């Protein structure tokens, strides 16, 4: 932590290790983004000013850049994810996704699902819909879930009456995939019925 803290300031030194990990940092070194300043002396590494990032968040970025890992608490995962996306660090984004998966609860799953879609974290998105399938009978009573279904339906280009809704399809898949016993069949039917009733109630029978 001391090393990372020492490097975090208005300016940071970029090294081959950091540029090899991130296309963003490589572009800075190549002067593609015109953000690097003139080195103070010949042979010194370039100094780059980074804006709108807190020391706590950049600490995790530095640890990942130099060690390919960082201990990431779930409460910081979204902020680190935003920076990882900006700095073109797909591996760090996946780490953030694994951390965010720890937050899945009835009250949070829709929000985490939105984050997964926004940052194209397919594994996290699948984990969210799998969790939704488990609690679908409660989710259909939640306005945030209903709004998510409406938005997914609206996003289907030139939607016809028979078009499917990706979020609904994924939930159906996970409900069906858990069926292994007769009692599970009854439970799955009840879950699917709750979902179908919601779709009918909001005019999205599909």
Q: Are strands 11-13 and 47-49 parallel, antiparallel or unpaired?
A: antiparallel
Listed in sequence order, the residues at least 6 apart from 129 whose beta carbon sits closer than 8 Å to its beta carbon are: 113, 167, 170, 171, 173, 174
Instruction: Round to whole Å and give the CA distance between 186 and 74.
Output: 36
In this structure, the number of other CB atoms found within 10 A of the CB of residue 163 comes to 12
Q: What share of the chain is helix, strand, coil (3-state, %, to 5)?
A: 65, 5, 35
Please tell me whether the overall predicted TM-score, pTM, comes out greater than 0.85 for this model: no
The distance of Cα 33 from the centroid of its chain, to the nearest Å, equals 26
pLDDT of res. 4: 41
Are 109 and 132 contacting, i.e. CB atoms less than 8 angstroms apart? Answer: yes
Are 179 and 188 contacting, i.e. CB atoms less than 8 angstroms apart? Answer: yes
pLDDT of res. 90: 93
pLDDT of res. 156: 80
- In the block, tokens 């599909």 appear at 206
Closest CA to 18 of 5, 34, 29, 2: 29
Listed in sequence order, the residues at least 6 apart from 98 whose beta carbon sits closer than 8 Å to its beta carbon are: 124
- Ramachandran class of 14: left when φ > 0, alpha when ψ lies in -120 to 50, beta otherwise: beta
Instruction: Round to whole Å and give the CA distance between 50 and 10.
Output: 6
Average pLDDT, the chain: 82
Instruction: Round to whole Å and give the CA distance between 63 and 72.
Output: 10
> How many degrees, rounded to 5, is the angle at CA 126 between CA 122 and CA 127?
120
**φ and ψ at 124, to 5 degrees?**
-65, -40
Structure tokens at 32: 């593609």
Structure tokens at 74: 């779930």
Are 118 and 131 contacting, i.e. CB atoms less than 8 angstroms apart? Answer: no
Written as tens digits, the pLDDT of the chain (206 aa) is 344 443 444 344 455 555 445 666 666 556 544 544 455 555 566 666 677 788 889 889 888 988 888 999 999 999 999 999 998 899 999 999 999 999 999 999 999 999 999 999 999 999 999 999 999 999 999 999 999 999 999 888 555 655 689 999 999 999 999 887 777 899 999 999 999 999 999 998 76
């Amino acid at each position: 932590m001391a090393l990372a803290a020492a490097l975090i300031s208005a300016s940071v030194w970029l090294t081959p290790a950091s540029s090899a990990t991130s296309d963003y940092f490589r572009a800075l070194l190549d002067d593609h983004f015109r953000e690097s300043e003139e080195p103070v002396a010949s042979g010194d590494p370039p100094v780059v000013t980074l804006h709108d990032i807190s020391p706590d968040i950049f600490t995790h970025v530095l640890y990942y850049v130099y060690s390919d890992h960082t201990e990431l608490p779930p409460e910081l995962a979204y902020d680190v994810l935003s920076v990882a996306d900006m700095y073109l660090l797909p591996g760090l984004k996946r780490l953030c996704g694994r951390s965010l998966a720890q937050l899945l609860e009835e009250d949070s799953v829709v929000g985490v699902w939105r984050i997964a879609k926004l940052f194209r974290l397919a594994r996290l998105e699948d984990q969210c819909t799998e969790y939704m399938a488990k609690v679908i009978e409660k989710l259909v009573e939640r306005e945030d879930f209903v709004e998510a279904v409406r938005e997914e339906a609206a996003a289907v280009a030139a939607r016809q009456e028979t078009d499917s809704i990706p979020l609904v399809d994924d939930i159906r898949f996970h409900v069906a995939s858990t069926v292994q016993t007769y009692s599970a069949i009854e439970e799955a039917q009840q879950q699917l019925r709750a979902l179908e009733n919601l779709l009918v109630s909001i005019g999205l029978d599909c």
